[in-house]
Amino acid sequence: MLDELIAIALKAGAAIMPIYERLDAASVVTKGDGSPVTAADEAAEVVILAELARVAPGIPVVAEESVAAGKCPATGSRFFLVDPLDGTKEFINRNGEFTVNIALIENGRPVLGVVYAPAIGDIYAGGEGQGARAAKVENGVVGPWRKIAVRPCPRSGISVLASRSHLTDETKAFVEKFSVADFVSAGSSLKFCKLAAGEADLYPRLGRTMEWDTAAGDAVLRAAAGGVMTMDGKPLAYGKRNQAEDVDFANPWFVAAGNFDPFADVTE
């Protein structure tokens, strides 16, 4: 199924790019929660929902814009999580760091994931027991795949990734616990993918996210031998509904890491 998800992500990217190229203020509206949404979010979701219904008709799909419109299916132990355009602020700012995210969840774990950044031509994919891979995309065609994996933990000074649009004071305080060689801002799920590709060591997110924001990148990172942990050191779980402290599918704070335990390892 991973190859099917890759093909679907490419089709969604093809729906996004014409809108990106002619983006103007009229293309952006604000949702009830104050977050922006564009015609590209909606166009990509239409493509993804139609394609998932074709290739996996029996598996429920939880997709960001559908949930915002009040459409959310019963999920059970196996379902898809979709963010048709992760990093809408990056899209609006035209820096290219937005992604299409598609993940398959089984028993609370992201077991397959695809992250595609159509504006910069990067695609990442990974699956439980399958490893992780990355490739360049040109004119909608995927080039040679290369295997990716997290890098060894450096003996001194780690590389930290942070959200370009959502860097909180709590995140800054957490990072101050470590010896940091460089601190790089990046948008969308590309942060998970950079960890998976061995380009950084730590991505703390002590702020609000939803499951569709993280699932695909989490799947790629886990397949590359990394992990995503909540602040109590447990793996980030998916399919969280009827939460007393928050809405359905809301994530707690988390820390994503390569070959580095942020709750035990301290670099000198």
Annotated binding-site residue numbers = 64, 83, 85-88, 213
| In contact, 64 and 82? CB cutoff 8 Å | yes
Cα–Cα distance for residue pair 222/113, rounded to 1 Å: 10
Cα–Cα distance for residue pair 83/107, rounded to 1 Å: 20
**Which segments are annotated as binding site for Mg(2+)?**
64, 83, 85-86, 213
Cα–Cα distance for residue pair 129/110, rounded to 1 Å: 12
Dig out the tokens for 186 from the structure.
């990046």
DSSP E strand boundaries for the chain: 28-30, 36-38, 61-63, 78-86, 99-106, 109-117, 122-127, 131-138, 141-142, 146-148, 158-163, 180-186, 202-205, 209-210, 227-230, 250-251, 254-257
**Which segments are annotated as binding site for substrate?**
64, 85-88, 213
DSSP E strand boundaries for 128-232: 131-138, 141-142, 146-148, 158-163, 180-186, 202-205, 209-210, 227-230
> Which residues, in sequence order, are CB contacts of 110 under 8 Å at separation 6+?
81, 103, 104, 215, 216, 218, 219, 222, 238
Measuring CA to CA, which residue among 74, 54, 55, 72 is closest to residue 63?
Answer: 72
